[in-house]
Amino acid sequence: MQRIENIQLVTLDAELSDYGLIEDAIVIVNGTHIEWAGPAFDAPSTPTAEVIDGQGGLMTPGLVDCHTHLIWAGSRANEFAQRLHGATYAEIAKAGGGIAATVRATREASYDELLQLALKRAKALIAQGVTTLEIKSGYGLDLETERKQLQVARAVGEQLPVRVKTTLLAAHAIPPEFKNNADGYIDEIVERILPTLADEGLVDAVDAFCESIGFSPAQTQRVFEAAQSLGLPVKLHAEQITNQQGAQLAAQFEALSADHLEQLDEEGVQAMAASGTVAVLLPGAFYFLRDDQVPPIELLRKHRVPMAIATDANPGSSPIHNLQLMLQMAATFFKLTPEECLRGVTVNAAKALGMYGQVGEIKAGMKADLALWDIQDAAELTYQFGVNPLIKRWYDGVVHVPAYKQ
């Protein structure tokens, strides 16, 4: 048992948009779970507990990155340079670049090569206070490589002190074997890839890219129906480039989340509100792609749709492995408040992974996933960037000190 004293404790309530602060707090950890958290003057006696001095730091839940594409091989830095020299995305894609280049490299990479790349990226997120991480497939687009990506994702959670939720994103793009035959590839997903990998226990949720350059609502619906028949929750890349009414489709299936949402309209917001679907905002992609259409933040507030924030770590549109930076970007580009930003990487991000009540808050009975920061105001996590104030983090009740603090 651990008794963490001399801390300021951030409190979150899923029904509110704000957060609270207990200036002199104690958190008691018993094994992998929180046994008690609250004001020091109310704390129960724990004479046999190990006492840990929080040094007056501020404690939040461990951070949750609820949308990443962390497993890929190859680099798209050359394409970034080409675009800066005037090349268009279409020209790059025609020359074999874009997602096709990442698919080729990921298919060619071995399991061990992908694992080493993924561990390096995950460690960068962990060093920022992340304790729960979603990892999607989607750079294989065939059974063998989608399996390989999800196996690597499972291994990341086994080898590092981080909780990993896997998402099958086979419906990410049309592979070369099915060129001009998107419906045929959807058949492959729903009849072979999805049921096989679900049966192997590799899939926690199912995602799709519903977009004018991706899959149609009808094709996406087929993927969702197959997932639903297997008892798997769904989520959706929706309304990033055009409005395909993807958010409404996601809401029909009570999706955990709809993500991106720059082109979301009020009907989509209302549908998400009714279904409890979380809006996952991805400011890194907005920044990297130089987008100028922000998600409808005021509508999401008006209809009380929970907003989460994630890195969208991927090689093409958000090569970013820093969740703290996403807080700053969400505030600067999307005008989220510091309170909304912090909730977006804790309690609301947990909701987006179907983990509400397990992680993302500091309450008795929840997982002892905690982060202790060398700051006095939670707004500092949103305000500053380029520095890392993390003192230490707890994952499943075990303390981990960042390497740079040792």
Residues contributing to the annotated binding site: 67, 69, 76, 139, 172, 237, 240, 312, 314, 316-317
Binding site listing for Zn(2+): 67, 69, 237, 312
Binding site listing for N-formimidoyl-L-glutamate: 139, 314, 316
| Pairing state between β 33-39 and 19-30 | antiparallel
CB 5 within 8 A of CB 54: yes
Q: How far is CA 227 from the centre of its chain?
A: 20
Q: Which two tokens stand for residue 43?
A: 């704390």
Tell me the C-alpha distance between 225 and 381, whole Å: 40
Which strands, in side-by-side order, build the sheet including 307-309?
63-65, 130-136, 163-171, 205-210, 235-238, 257-260, 278-281, 307-309
Binding site listing for Fe(3+): 67, 69, 237, 312
Binding site listing for 4-imidazolone-5-propanoate: 76, 139, 172, 240, 317
Q: Which two tokens stand for residue 379?
A: 């707004």
Query: How many residues appear in the chain?
Result: 406
- Number of alpha carbons in the 13 Å side-chain half-sphere of residue 357: 1
CB 285 within 8 A of CB 317: yes
Tell me the C-alpha distance between 99 and 350, whole Å: 29
CB 54 within 8 A of CB 38: no
Tell me the C-alpha distance between 271 and 256, whole Å: 13
Q: Mapping DSSP to helix (H, G, I), strand (E, B) and coil, where does residue 320 land?
A: coil
Tell me the C-alpha distance between 62 and 171, whole Å: 31
